[in-house]
Amino acid sequence: MKISSLFGQGKTVFSFEVFPPKKTSPIETIYDTLDKLKELSPDFISVTYGAGGNIADTTTCDIASYITRKLNIISAAHLTCAYSTKDGVLEQLARFKESGVENILALRGDINPDIQRKHDFEHASDLTAFIKTNGDFHVSGACYPECHIEAENMVEDIKNLKKKVDCGAEHLMSQLFFDNAVFYDFIEKARIAGINVPIEAGIMPVVNAKQIQKMVSMCGASLPAKFTKIMQRYENNPEALRDAGIAYATDQIVDLISNGVDGIHLYTMNNPYIAKRISESIKSLL
């Protein structure tokens, strides 16, 4: 089933993101996680691809196929293009089709200065157009409520986002953010620019202080005072930090749903316990 069929049904879409296990861990670890996430009835689960500029293998496709065929949940496979050729993408598309994966999050991918990039696709919009003309896939795209770090400014970034939608992106998933006001401002700008596809809000619950600092330095999310106070007060108390982080993310989600957001995309960090606590708190609101 295609992700586009989930929107416009009078319900807030609630989706999860997982990542493939490290090469040193058996693939079964993610299947155990997914079996637990299934109990939370997400609308779809997306699977990351070669994050960090690594040239990825077929694991993303295998995991997305497990979600669709074994768990009977809609899956989306992320696919990056900065290090791919057109032939490489065609091979991936054939593999997705054969594996029952109908939804793709088309991404450029982060640029790793140590790896020679390819230039068959300069931007995610090029990959989006290529996928649309080479198969019957639903294509999603990424968006950045606080501007993509390489963009000159928000105006340019939104213009580029509009190009991505015009090339065929039917749904957008946002980068994580901790200040809902930033997201509402972004939605308003996107709508004024004529971007009318559903936009899901990316929410990442705090799991531990070290990880959050890394994520923020990588994606440039600003931290509201309320959030930094939690970090400072509980950084040496993992259990309290986890509970406060879950409460913070839940509070963000309640506010987003109350304000009519199209969907919530929860970065689960492959942690079913945290996803469960959040899902149980908000399921009657969706």
Contacts (CB under 6 A) with ligand FAD, residues 155-214: 156-157, 160, 163-164, 173, 175, 202
- Show contacts with ligand FAD in window 28-57 (CB under 6 A): 48-51
Which positions from 93 through 112 interact with ligand FAD, judged by CB under 6 A?
105, 107-110
User: Please, which residue, 73 or 104, has the CB nearer to ligand FAD?
Assistant: 104
Least distance CB 5 / ligand FAD (angstroms): 20
Least Å distance between CB 164 and ligand FAD?
A: 6
Based on the residue annotation, tell me whether 122 is a catalytic residue of this protein: no
How many residues of this chain interact with ligand FAD, rule: CB under 6 A? 26
Q: Which is nearer to ligand FAD, 201 or 230 (CB)?
A: 201
Which residue, 138 or 164, has its beta carbon nearer to ligand FAD? Answer: 164
Nearest to 129 by CA among 114, 116, 141, 147: 141
Residue 224 Cβ vs ligand FAD, minimum distance, rounded to whole Å: 20
Q: Tell me if 80 contacts ligand FAD by CB under 6 A.
A: yes
Of 42 and 109, which has the nearer Cβ to ligand FAD? 109
Q: Write out the two tokens for 166.
A: 């015009």
Closest-CA residue to 88 (of 51, 59, 131):
131
Nearest approach, Cβ of 26 to ligand FAD (angstroms)?
Answer: 21
**Residue 75 and residue 3: Cα distance in Å, rounded?**
8
Max Cα distance, the chain (Å)? 52
User: Under rule CB under 6 A, which residues in 121-150 are in contact with ligand FAD?
Assistant: 123-125, 142, 148, 150
**Paired sense of beta strands 199-203 and 74-80, if any:** unpaired
Closest C-alpha among 271, 233, 234, 267 to residue 249: 267
CB of residue 113 to ligand FAD, shortest distance in Å: 13
Minimum distance between the CB of residue 265 and ligand FAD, rounded to whole angstroms? 7
Active-site residue, from 17, 102, 146, 170: 17
CB 67 within 8 A of CB 102: no
Contact set for ligand FAD, span 236-265 (CB under 6 A): none
C-beta closer to ligand FAD: residue 148 or 242: 148
Residue with Cβ nearer ligand FAD (135 or 220):
220
Where on the chain is the footprint of ligand FAD (CB under 6 A)?
48-51, 78, 80, 105, 107-110, 123-125, 142, 148, 150-151, 156-157, 160, 163-164, 173, 175, 202
Which residues are designated catalytic?
Answer: 17
